[in-house]
Structure 1
Amino acid sequence: MRHVKAVAALAVVGAVALATPANASTALASRLTLSITPESSTGGPGRTVTLICEPTGGTHPDAAAACADLIKANGDIKRIPPAKGNCLPVEIRVIAKAFGNWQGRQVSYSQSFTNDCYANLGTGGHVFHF
């Protein structure tokens, strides 16, 4: 009987040990709210999406690419290299914002750009591409 109890106790400990990493990684999932908002009311409506990384999800249309950029930059949008491309020289100033958490730490980003194309390219081409 003692052997059965010992085996049962080990099974419970093993199950808890296996469950803990999954729960720990879920707790550290990175979740950001991203928005692009015109600086003036004549710029039209703003847009907002959610982005979840590790595991990838949210309402961002290309969450996998946006997460890949953020993972390389350790969640710091300012460290993402600009993407190459051309934007129309139209000035409809926007503010690109991000807030939430990245692997357990608070993240906040806000930057003004000439237009949403420059916001997209200036942050790597994926994070604010929505």
Structure 2
Amino acid sequence: MSPIADNLTGTAENRTTDWLFGTSTTAPTLPLKMALTTANGSDASAGTEVTGGSYARENITVAAAVNGSVSNSADLVFDGMPACTVVGWEIWDSAGTPIRWSYGLFDASKTVAAGDELKVEAGGWMWTSS
């Protein structure tokens, strides 16, 4: 057997499977938000999220999937970053207690100085189910 996706959290895998087989229709609470991490997480635990400066998670929008893949349809701009090296990302929903749905590494680490802007240009992030 192959996994649904290597970068879905355990919660996302269970909810997707429940939806597919009709046992639940619980969807993420929109909007989805991208978080930046300085250490990558795993299926079971979140990574180390950036903190400090004016950093805040950014809303992410995607177009309909093509061949099991989606990418951000607009720039994601993280203003007022703290000094850090960003290695990855996580996708969270907007529930009262947010749920982490997916995670992964950027192709290359991004080092920023205090006050810098970090931009993920439209189409610069991609999630794929295979």
Which protein is richer in strand relative to its size? Answer: 2
Same structural fold, with TM-score higher than 0.5 when normalized by the shorter chain: no
Q: Could you state the TM-score of these two structures normalised by the residue count of structure 2?
A: 0.28
Does 1 or 2 have the higher relative contact order (CA < 8 Å, sep 6+)?
Answer: 2
Which protein is richer in helix relative to its size? Answer: 1
Q: Could you state the TM-score of these two structures normalised by the residue count of structure 1?
A: 0.28
